[in-house]
Chains A and B, each alone.
Chain A
Amino acid sequence: MLTKRIIPCLDIKDGRTVKGIHFENIKDAGDPVELAMRYCKEGADELVFLDISATNEKRKTLTQLVLDVAKNINIPFTVGGGVNSVYDVSILLNAGADKVSINSAAFNNPRLIKDIAQRFGNQCVVLAVDIKFENDDWFVYLNGGRLNTGKKALEWIRQSVDLGAGEILLTSMNNDGTKNGFACDITKLVSESVHVPVIASGGAGSIKHFEEVFLKGGADAALAASVFHYNEIKIGDLKKQLKIKNIEIRL
């Protein structure tokens, strides 16, 4: 059986791992390659690197980082942050990334999803979407959570899958950084609305939260950052506990 995936996320700024709360108050959390290797050893199923600096000059730093990660780890990884064109994607994939996540650029130019999917296959297009619950619905936010687009989350996600997104990385801004659990309701709704895998993100604080997002939220994968960075949850322990709850997990 296909397993549920546990995915540590490394937010990258100027070549270092960082972590903020609600996309703000950024703190240094270590060397990304070292962390990546540690996660790999501990049993992570996949890794995600999101470059939150993402200006043109920083892009070269990112490409070098992708190369270093690819040399040192033997599990798949996704890279995102500021990906704007098919060319950007080709650089990252050539450096050894397996998938690329796109967010604002795809929202502003949905055609980009189609172009990347046609060129590299939809399996490498991860649509990252930051959503926030307000006025009784979930809306898409851009620019690291600063800009409300006014577009309903489900509508955009369905559209992106039709265009060729092969996976959805769904981050609830209401939950991100709170450690109060994932947004299970919207995760379930998204998971049932599209035929591609959904990675739930935002809110992981305990092993129970992972159990919930798989069993109640119907997530295919769960992503977290700080609980893994600071060793609050050990990936090995997490996976053993989930297996005990009869969730399909690779040990």
Chain B
Amino acid sequence: MKIVIIKYNAGNARSVSFALERLGVSPLITDNAEQITNADKVIFPGVGEASTAMNFLKTNNLDTLIKKLQQPVLGICLGMQLLCKHSEEGNTSCLNIIDANVKKFKGDLKIPQIGWNTVYDLKLPLFKNVNENSYFYFVHGYYLESCGSTISTTDYIVPFSSAINKNNFYGVQFHPEKSGTVGEQVLKNFIELK
């Protein structure tokens, strides 16, 4: 199986790659259009700032490429947020694959949310063999509102989408590559998607 991690300026591609290697698969980190298009699974990681990342994707024609992908795609953290319509971070128009918006946390709690929080209302297949209220690691100052594509919810200031799915596109706000064994289970489930 060919697994590709999209290489761009806002990725923690290396960490994601190491996590997959611990599961026994050897992903390819690339920004090559042909390699991405021909992969069996595509992971779209992300650590960084939305407008900078989006500009980079556009400059390198990765935005149109990602939208056309037919195989399972997993956006992680910023990668998931970029799948949406719009982000308040840098007032950024995103890829518009998921019909929902990314908003800034506003409230009494610490921002960004950094640390381990629970996920609930889990939907298959991404959360196969994952218990309700399992802890995952989050680092983010912006969140994706609840929407028709929500497949898990987490509470921080407000209930938000901690994972989404629409057709072949999946997204997780938490970092499965940094969430211990439950995180590895989610990555494994993604790899095993038909």
Question: Do A3 and B117 have beta carbons less than 8 Å apart?
Answer: yes
Within residues 1 to 58 of chain A, which ones have a CB less than 8 A from any CB in chain B? Answer: 1-5, 40, 45-46
How far, in angstroms, from A20 to B40 measured CA to CA in the complex? Answer: 50
Tell me, yes or no, whether A75 is within 8 Å of chain B by CB: yes
Q: Are A74 and B47 in contact (CB under 8 A)?
A: no
- A residues less than 8 Å from B180 (CB atoms): 40, 74-75
Cβ contact of A166, chosen from B22, B78, B114, B181, cutoff 8 A: B114
Report the minimal beta-carbon distance from A247 to chain B, rounded to whole angstroms: 13
With an 8 A cutoff between CB atoms, is A236 at the interface? no
Shortest CB distance A143–B (Å)? 28
Establish whether residues A98 and B112, one from each chain, have CB atoms under 8 Å apart when the complex forms: no
Are B47's CB and A124's CB within 8 A?
Answer: yes
Would you call B49 and A121 a contact (CB within 8 A)?
Answer: yes
Min CB distance A158 to B, Å, is 15
Interface size counted on chain B using CB atoms at 8 A: 39
Min CB gap A51→B, angstroms: 19
B111: A residues at CB distance < 8 A: 195-196
Given that A71-B21, A120-B47 are known contacts, is A76 also in contact with B113, CB under 8 Å in the complex? no
A96 interface hit (Cβ, 8 Å): yes
Within the complex, the shortest CB–CB distance from A58 to chain B, in Å, comes to 21
Interface size on A, as a range, is: 20 to 34
Return chain A residues, CB-CB under 8 Å to B177: 74
Instruction: Say whether A122 contacts B141, CB under 8 Å.
Output: yes
Instruction: State whether A2 and B140 are in contact (beta carbons under 8 Å apart), knowing that A70-B18, A94-B14 are contacts in the complex.
Output: no
In the complex, which residue of chain B has the Cβ closest to the Cβ of A118? B49
Known: A74-B179, A76-B178, A123-B139. A2 touches B12 (CB 8 A): no
Q: Does A93 contact B (CB under 8 A)?
A: yes
Q: Which residue from B19, B137, B155, B178 sits with its C-beta under 8 Å from A1?
A: B155
Whether the pair B115, A2 counts as a contact (CB closer than 8 A) is yes
CB <8 Å contact, A3 and B135: yes
Known: A3-B135, A71-B21, A75-B178. A98 touches B113 (CB 8 A): no
> Is B15 part of the binding interface, using a Cβ–Cβ cutoff of 8 Å?
yes
- A211 part of interface (Cβ distance < 8 Å): no
User: How far apart sit A5 and B113, CA to CA, in the bound complex (Å)?
Assistant: 12
Residues of A within 8 A of B49 (CB): 118-121
Check if B115 sits within 8 Å of A96, measured CB to CB. Answer: no
- Is A110 an interface residue, CB under 8 A from the partner? no
Q: In the bound complex, what is the Cα–Cα distance between A169 and B18 (angstroms)?
A: 27
Is the CB of B166 closer than 8 A to any CB of chain A? no
B47 touches A2 (CB 8 A): no
- With A94-B14, A166-B112 already in contact, the answer to whether A75 and B48 are too (CB < 8 A) is no
Spell out A's residues near B (CB within 8 Å). 1-5, 40, 45-46, 70-71, 74-76, 93-96, 98-99, 118-124, 166-167, 195-197, 220-221, 250
A-B CB contact pairs (8 Å), 19 listed: A2-B115, A4-B115, A45-B115, A71-B22, A74-B22, A74-B178, A74-B180, A75-B178, A98-B12, A119-B49, A119-B52, A121-B49, A123-B114, A123-B141, A124-B139, A167-B114, A196-B111, A197-B115, A250-B116
Known contacts A98-B178, A118-B49, A124-B47; 7 additional CB pairs below 8 A are: A46-B115, A76-B178, A98-B47, A119-B49, A121-B10, A196-B112, A220-B115
